[in-house]
Amino acid sequence: MVEVTVTPQSSLADRPVQVQARGLSPSQLVTLRASLTDEHGECFQSRAFFRADGAGEVDPGRHAALGGSYAGVWPMGLFWFLQPDTLFRRLVKRDVAGSPFRVRLEVFDGARLVIGPQDQPLASCEAERWYVAPGMQRVPIREGRVRGALFLPP
């Protein structure tokens, strides 16, 4: 049975995570895709093509991506190379304390440049990427023309 995992499943956005796909056939060509929808409903996604090792596993931290959104060994490549579906959109988190970005990770059979709604993944999981640690206090700053926020740890 094919599975894709992200460890830890919930983490701060600046912390590394480990993505792994298991249960594949040895040397199977697969596409790993990461996707998320931002607070304005804009979709962002990245994809990378991998060949499973002899144990039927893919780990972007150990195995080189053969192409897609990036090539080479990039442990966080699926997160770093997220691109908007609509040109000239930026990935910005407005509500940093209230909710995380939920990144969906999927593994598909073969090298897929385009993935349609009819294409079913072999496996999928979801990662939460938080921008503020639990217990942080947010203090708004309004001084003259300066606007900002001060984040104080517990």
Domain layout of the chain by residue ranges: 3-152
pLDDT(52) > 90: yes
In angstroms, how far is the first alpha carbon of the chain from the final one?
43
Cα–Cα nearest to 78, from 60, 90, 91, 93: 60
Tokens of 105: 């990770």
Q: What is the pLDDT of residue 118?
A: 86
Q: What is the pLDDT of residue 33?
A: 97
| Other beta carbons less than 10 A from residue 93's beta carbon | 16
pLDDT(150) > 90: yes
CA angle 131, 136, 139 (to 5 degrees): 100
| CATH class of residue range 3-152 | mainly beta
Confidence of residue 109 (pLDDT cuts 50, 70, 90): very high
Distance CA 128, CA 80 (A): 15
Q: Which residue has the higher pLDDT, 97 or 50?
A: 50
Q: What is the mean pLDDT of residues 3-32?
A: 97
Q: What is the pLDDT of residue 17?
A: 97
pTM higher than 0.85 for the full model?
Answer: yes
Sign of torsion, CA 110 114 119 122? positive
Q: What is the pLDDT of residue 139?
A: 93
Confidence of residue 96 (pLDDT cuts 50, 70, 90): confident
Distance CA 83, CA 86 (A): 9
Mean pLDDT across the chain: 95
Q: Which residue's structure tokens are 């090792």?
A: 53
